[in-house]
């Protein structure tokens, strides 16, 4: 009888063991919520390129250019960020402006795979000179040594835009984007403009040495209005209706740590005559590129096909300097 009682107790102990063990805390497996991102961060970087091409048109007269930016950020939470920044780039404009200085700011909400960006951008071009023989105080016309090509340009090309951007993460490697920018006074010409389009990027798996290749493409369309009378021609003395145009680019690149090397082909559908009318290119020449808004026949190659190489470095304080 005594042996039977001991056996029964042992059996009950064995049966109860799994349930008891399930109630015991297990060290090392408790889920710990990730810490929230730091409230403040700063992004900054610089770049050098063989040509500064913006919306398909060179801003540096097809010469090499440098750029840099500084962008403080404030994370309200992990899905909402405020930011403001200042940037700069070297340019070669018809009005001889010293540089491009950018001031911008906005808000970046994130919702699942969707990342939005809403903001305002101001392009400041200090140090420009006015060229227009018909306007008191302006110099006669744009220089194109050893001759003068007759184009005109305001001394101040500064202007602002508002914008909205969306990026959708399809997979960890593939993303799609869309954007729209609006300005009531593009390059201070008096013409309004809406620039909109989309892009795509596929990032390959990183190689053993840490280099990550990618391919990307972008297409955009700029719908432009009519300039003020400063840029008028005899047929349109009150201003010229700039030609809307489409621009596109395709490229390959490699990222390694904070560095990115991008090789890109870019082009537009603007002909040389309409390109000259929009850009006031100081190097434009010829007499055969006549269009309704370009009666002089001058032609500019600023809007044509171009291969661009760009090396950049982009860092953030919380990611790269801690």
pLDDT per position as a tens digit, 65-102:
999 999 999 999 999 999 999 999 999 999 999 999 99
Give the C-alpha separation, 225 to 182, whole Å: 12
CB 84 within 8 A of CB 74: no
What is the reported pLDDT for 2? 43
Give the C-alpha separation, 275 to 245, whole Å: 10
Can you list the domains of the chain with their CATH numbers? 37-320 (2.40.160.40)
Mean pLDDT is lowest, of 9-18, 162-171, 181-190, 254-263, for: 9-18
Q: Could you read off the pLDDT of 233-264 as tens digits, one per residue?
A: 888 899 999 999 999 999 999 999 999 999 99
Here the tokens at position 311 are: 């090396």
The alpha carbons of the chain give a radius of gyration, in whole angstroms, of 29
Here the tokens at position 175 are: 């993303």
Q: CA separation (Å) from 14 to 17, 19, 109, 167?
A: 5, 10, 56, 58
pTM: 0.87
Binned at pLDDT 50, 70 and 90, residue 158 comes out as very high
CB 198 within 8 A of CB 175: no
Binned at pLDDT 50, 70 and 90, residue 25 comes out as very low
Torsions phi, psi for 34 (to 5 deg): -65, 145
Judged by DSSP in three states, 242 sits in coil
Mean pLDDT is lowest, of 33-42, 81-90, 274-283, for: 33-42
């Amino acid at each position: 009888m005594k042996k039977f009682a001991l056996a029964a107790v042992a059996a009950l102990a064995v049966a109860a063991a799994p349930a008891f063990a399930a109630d015991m805390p297990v060290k090392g497996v408790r889920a710990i919520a990730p810490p929230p991102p730091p409230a403040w961060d700063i992004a900054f970087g610089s770049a050098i390129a063989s040509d500064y091409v913006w919306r398909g048109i060179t801003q540096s007269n097809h010469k090499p250019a440098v750029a840099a930016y500084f962008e403080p950020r404030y994370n309200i939470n992990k899905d909402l960020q405020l930011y403001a920044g200042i940037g700069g780039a070297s340019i070669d404009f018809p009005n001889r402006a010293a540089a491009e200085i950018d001031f911008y700011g906005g808000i970046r909400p994130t919702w699942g795979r969707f990342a939005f960006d809403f903001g305002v951008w101001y392009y400041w071009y200090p140090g420009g000179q006015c060229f227009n023989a018909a306007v008191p105080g302006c110099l006669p016309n744009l220089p194109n040594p050893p001759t003068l090509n007759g184009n005109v340009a305001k001394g101040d090309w500064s202007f602002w835009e508002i914008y909205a951007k969306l990026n959708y993460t399809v997979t960890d490697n593939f993303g799609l984007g869309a954007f729209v920018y609006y300005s009531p006074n593009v390059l201070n010409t008096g013409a309004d403009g809406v620039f909109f389009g989309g892009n795509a990027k596929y990032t390959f798996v990183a190689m053993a040495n840490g280099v990550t290749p990618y391919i990307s493409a972008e297409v955009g369309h700029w719908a432009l209005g009519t300039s003020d009378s400063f840029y008028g021609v005899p047929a349109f003395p009150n201003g010229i209706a700039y030609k809307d145009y489409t621009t596109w680019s395709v490229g390959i690149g490699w990222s390694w740590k904070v560095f990115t090397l991008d090789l890109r082909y870019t082009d537009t559908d603007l002909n040389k005559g309409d390109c000259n009318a929009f850009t006031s290119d100081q190097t434009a020449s010829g007499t055969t590129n006549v269009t309704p808004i370009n009666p002089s026949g001058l032609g500019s190659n600023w809007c044509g096909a171009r291969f661009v190489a760009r090396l950049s470095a982009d860092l953030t304080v919380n990611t790269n300097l801690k």
